[in-house]
Every structure is written in C-alpha cells, then in structure tokens.
Structure 1
C-alpha cells in the first residue's frame, strides 16, 4: 500500500510504494507540513495511477534514484509526471545520496554500542577493520548490490583462518551477520533496497562436544595439582563457563544457602558485570562435592583477593596459562584425548542428563534459554552413559502382554528359541537351571 511517511532524523517527507513487486522509498526535501503532505500525497496518487496504466517511467520521475538500473526501460509510454507536477516538486522529490560504508559504520557502531557487551564491540570493530572496510569502505551504501555481497562471501571462503585452515562457515556467517545488520539499517534509514534480500547463512556443522566420563573426571580430580583441584571440581559439577568461574568473587558464593551467584565474567584481562546473556545471570545450587571444594578453597584463599580462584598475585586465573601449563599437560600424563577446558561444561550437562535430572532444571542451571540445546547437542551422549535405551517401553509392553514361557525346557525347539525375545529366553534358561538343581519327584511306584 502506497503512503507518505516522515523521516524521523530529518523531519522530511518520503514516498513509500511498490513498483513491479519491489518496495520503493524515495526521499523528498519537503518538511512535514499539512500543505506539503497534501502536495506529496497528490504526487503519489499520480504515480499510483500511472503504475496501474503501465505508463510509469521511474527514470523520468526520480532521475537520481539508486534504483534506476533495476527499473531501466520500464515505461511503456511517455510519463506525464513531468507535465503534471510543478518543477519545484520534481526537484524536491529527488532521492538524497547515501553516505559511504565507512562513514555510516562509525555512526551505526556508536548507536549500537550501549546494547553490546565489551567483547562483542571489540569483535565488531575487528570485523570492520579486517574485512568490511577494505572491501566496502569507500563504496556508497546504495551502490552495494546482492552480487557484491555474494562475491565478498565467496572471497571469505578462500581466506585462511586460524592455523592456516580455510575460514569456517561459523566465522563467515558471523562476518556476514554484521554486514547484514549494517546494510539493512542503512537501507531502512536512507530508503534503498537491501542487498541481503534472499541471502541465507551457510550451513554449519553441529559443534563438537566431547564430554568426559565419570571415570575420567575422577582421574583428573585425583591427579591434578592440589592448588587446582577445587577449581576443576567446581568446573565439572556446576557447568560454569570459563569467564564465569574465573570471574567468580567470594561475595557471590553463598555457603549458607548453598548457591553460586553468576553475576560477572572475566575475559581478556577485564572483568565485566554483564553475563553472556540474560539467562546467564543465574543462581547455581551447590552439589555436595562443590560445597566441599569451596569450603576447602576458602581455607587457602588469597587474603588480598576478592576472587575465589586467584593466582599468586591475587588476580583471576588466566585461561590460557591454565590450559597450556596445567590442563593439557595433565591430559597427556593421563593419556586422555586432548580436549579444551570448556568440555568440563559439556560434561556437566551429559552427566546430569544421564542421571535422570529434569532437562528444564539442567537448562536453567547451565544458563540456557530453553531445553533445545540439551536435546540437539547433549542428548546423543546419554545412551553411551545409561545403556538402557528402550528399556522403559519394553517393560511397559511386556507388562501388558507377558511373553509365553514354555512349560518345560525339554519341550523347546530350535525354532522356538529363535522366535523368543530376551525376557522369555532368560526365563527359559532359569527354568532349565532350576530343573537341573531340583531332583525329580518319584511316583507311587518309586520310579522317577
């Protein structure tokens, strides 16, 4: 539906209409007054009439529009707009030029900064510096096309990421997501067609999850250095993220009520009050081994540090130092497969699922918004831990339809044995063993 709208940042009027299935928004230089709105509405009504008659000439009506290439040669007859609309109106209806990608990126990032966490802001700045500005920095926003975006993505796929390997689909999607947000906001603000229309993210593999078994957990807790035993115990049985446990302060440890309050994180040498997501701000109930570990840690705590797990200087544990100097050497010593310390979090989820804990409770403890993560990532490890898949439904079916048990094991044939289920076969074997142990009853003649 065609309408006349007001640009909030400038207070000027613009036209919003559809032509050949494409939404078009063309800016005017007229301020939003009653008279100007009536004039622009009359102009828009005339455009709508010409579109209906197949006589609308986009180039003649909006000669400086960014959409001219798309609608080149669309008029079937000479447009009458030029004759019907006064010259001042035609001049004022010309679309304003858009800024360059580099100039608008400064404005956009400044506007979005208050709602972004520190690490995300740094990541966005890094993406613009390394990838977006070298390619699109000097380009006018309205000139960036869908083909340009696809070419850029194809180029990313050819670049090398960490370790000299091709850039992962996850990393490419993250870069493209920032570009999408940037261009979509510009398109909405300056009234041009978004270049990202119809472009879908690359498909990604499910994240690798390699949790430890309970036996491996106990081996690690037993063999690790004494000053890190409480640290890994809390990691294994709370599911806390690396930044959450490294940034844990004593004021957030409530031993009286048995709770760990996740309120801050510590990453890249800086503490941050906001957690990763809204759901990440949570209270974690202490399991007995966690309470015991924290009570022991309190006895040997650094007297001048507010952090639960601190180094000799009282600063939080450095994630890289712990991984390279303690964690990986320990795994090599125990001859365990190399896994990141973050796998302790995955271990928490799989052990709790295997023990039969309520999935919603586990999701809340882990800081997930819902149980979807549990069922899509962790649940495939549960069968390897319980070895009882299908036992519940099998028991239910057998209770309703008990399998027939042969009267005597001597009557069993090979065919009967092959058709018997596991429960019936076990009962038959028990009957056979019982028959072997029980002496036969004598008849009245003393003959068995």
Structure 2
C-alpha cells in the first residue's frame, strides 16, 4: 500500500510505494505539513493510476533517483500491459524493519501520544533487535515464542532479573495486529496463532481507611496536603489531576470538569470517552481548591504545578513526597493510584449509588465497580453525593482556617 511517511532524522516527507514487485522510497525536502501531505498524496494517486495504465516511467517522476536507472531496462520491455500487471503482482515481502516503520506511520494517527511513544520504544528496544532483519513472511510461530522467552531474560525494573509477565504480554500484543496486516498485504498466513497471554498477578485493590487518610493528611507536607486531599476524595487518575487546569474548575456549579490528562509530560485527551466527565466537589474538595487558587491561579494554567507553572512530574512527586511519607508513617507502601481506589470505597461505604460512583470515576457502566470493589459494596440507596459529604463532615479531622 502506497503511503506518505516522515523520515525522523530529517523531519521531511518521503513516498513509500511498490513498483515492479520492489519497494521504493523516495525522499523529498517537504516538511510534514497538511498541505505538503496532500500534495504528495495526489502525486501517489497519479503514480498508481499510471502504473495501472502501464504508462508509469520512473525517471519522469524521479530523474535523480538511483531507482530510475534500475527500472529503465525493465520499462522498455513492458510493451504489453498484461505483462506489466503480472510483474506487479510478484510482491516481494520486506524485512520486518522495512515493514514496521511505514506500518507505524499509518497507525499512529489514531493513537494517543503516550501509546505512540510506547509502541515506538518497543519497536526500537525489542522488535528490531530480534526480528528486524527477518523477512516478514519467513517469521514463524516458533520464532515468536522464542522472542517471548527472550523477553523474560531482559532485566526488569527495580533490579528484577526479568520482565514481568504483564509487561511481556503488553510487548507481545501489538505483534498480533502487525502480522495480521502484513499477512493480508503480502499474502501469507500470520504466524501469530495460538499464542496465549502469560498469566500475570492482578494488582490488588488496597484502599486506605478514612483513619489512614486522616493520618496521611495530618502529616504530609503542607504544599501537597490539598493535592492528596483532592486525590483521595475525587478518585481522579494521576494524569487527570496532574493535568487539571483552572479553566475546568467551576466553583459556581461545584464541579471539576475532566477533559484532558497529562501522560509522560505531554498533554493529551482523556484515557477513554467515558473518562470525560464532571466530578462533583464535596465541601472539603471545594475548600481545598479555593486554597489552591491562592497559590497557583496566578500561573494561569495548571491547578497543581511547579514554580515555573508547569505540570507536576508524577514520578518525582511519588519518589520525593509520597513513598517517603508512607515510610515515615509506617504505612504499607502503596502506589498513589490507591487514592483512586480509596475514593471509590469511601463512596461505597457512604452508601452512594453505584451508577453515580461509576460516573464520578469515569467508568462507562457499573460492571468494573462491582468486579473490582465487590467486597466493599453495602446496601446502596442514594445517588447524589450527600452521604459522602455527611461522612466527611463527621469524620474528616483535617481543618483549615
């Protein structure tokens, strides 16, 4: 399939197409703007129409290309269009490296930036060293299983001897789509068959009790107290609270509008469509945001930010503030994401409606709520947030002047 792609080294566009059963890539000096892409896409349409008519001559379009001389003799011999068409069908499968980058360029338009970065990293770090020089149609199921076994020997995080099964599964999953697409384009049977995911341990839900929440808020650094208070009582994901902007805070209606997130330092759209939601402010959250407004509203963008007005670096905050705090308080080490689980379980303990909680959490329905938090579900009757407010007003110990 012909395409217009970007050469990363020069940030310029190039044409990627097939002619005489061979893959051709012709570099341009054009920058990857919308207008330049449309210009080259029109050229590709012309080239493909000329190929079908048997009138395409390489040198007419790319006179300076080395390919022009290579194809010259063959073009002279193609007097019969049917003979030319037959030649075109003699597709030669590329190597994995030749195939993967055009495939990546075609797919990334529909991906979030964080996913693009993740896939590109897997291509460079894992796919190419093991599969890069192999022809895509020569790679077998056994090769993929050997690749998976090799991943288990790659050093993992925090001094682990190998990657976790969960991480291996995430690296293997894109290969299924890659080989399905390659098999369809070059007419071979995909080798990604009967390859099941490795079993991996599920991350436990370990919410904090309200007593522990009070203990944490009483002892955390003053400049992060409201940050964690809002995390505990809104259920926002890390990227959602770190990417929260003042323009999405409506004090009149007492709602927090979740419209954007921040992942790997990049502003992005929310995780899913259902993640776009309005979170109702409880009185403690309302008061915390009012206090925060005094400190960061002058920067004009992020609710929580550094001294330069930029979004917080969650890895830095976790390592310098969160984990040392839990250690100092002799509390079990838990990821900051457990603050989200805490909000859900507190809402459930307060007797809020599952539908209301799911909406506040950004779930499309209550299925995940019951599956993840089933042991925390009491008899539920209300659906307006009032029970949570009552619980906090009676038991939340942190008070501010």
Q: 2:198 aligns with which of 197, 202, 211?
A: 202
Structure-2 residue corresponding to 1:107: 102
CA contact (8 A) 2:246 2:297 kept: no
Matches within 5 A, 1:172-183: 172-183=168-179
Q: CA deviation at 1:251?
A: 0.5
Superposition RMSD in Å: 2.8
SS at match of 1:158: coil
Residue 46 of structure 1 corresponds to none
Stretches of structure 2 that go unaligned for 5 or more consecutive residues are 4-16, 20-50, 54-81, 380-401
Indicate whether 1:287 and 2:288 are aligned.
Answer: no
* TM-aligned CA deviation for residue 114 of structure 1: 1.0
- Tell me what 2:182 maps to: 186
Does the Cα contact within 8 Å between 1:350 and 1:379 map onto a contact in 2? no
Change (3 A) 1:304 1:11: closer
Q: Which residue of 2 aligns with 1:276?
A: 271
2:122 is the counterpart of 1:124: no
CA change 1:269–1:92 in 2 (3 A) is closer
**C-alpha separation in 2, matches of 1:246 and 1:226:** 17
Instruction: Specify which structure has the bigger relative contact order, considering alpha-carbon pairs within 8 angstroms and separated by 6 or more residues.
Output: 2
The one of 254, 259, 262 equivalent to 1:258 is: 254
**Residues 117 and 213 (structure 1), Cα distance of their counterparts in 2 relative to 1, 3 Å cut:** same
> Bigger radius of gyration, 1 or 2?
1
1:231 to 201, 220, 227: 227
Residues 211 and 343 in structure 1, CA contact (< 8 A), matched pair in contact too: yes
Alignment: residue pair count? 307
Paired with 1:186 and 1:315, the residues of 2 have a C-alpha distance of 42
Instruction: Judge conservation of contact 1:305–1:315 (CA < 8 Å) in 2.
Output: no
Match in the other structure for 2:384: none
Matches within 5 A, 1:43-82: none
Is 1:310 the counterpart of 2:305? The answer is yes
* 8 Å contact kept, 1:206–1:377: no
User: Secondary structure at 1:335's aligned position in 2?
Assistant: coil
Does the aligned pair in 2 maintain the 1:213–1:347 contact within 8 Å?
A: yes
Q: Could you tell me which residue of structure 1 aligns to residue 92 of structure 2?
A: 97
- In 2, Cα distance between the equivalents of 1:155 and 1:138? 17
Q: State how far apart, in whole Å, the 2-side matches of 1:330 and 1:134 are.
A: 41
Q: Structure 1: state its 5+ residue gaps.
A: 1-6, 13-30, 34-86, 389-448
TM-score (norm 2): 0.70
Tell me the SS of whatever aligns to 2:257.
strand
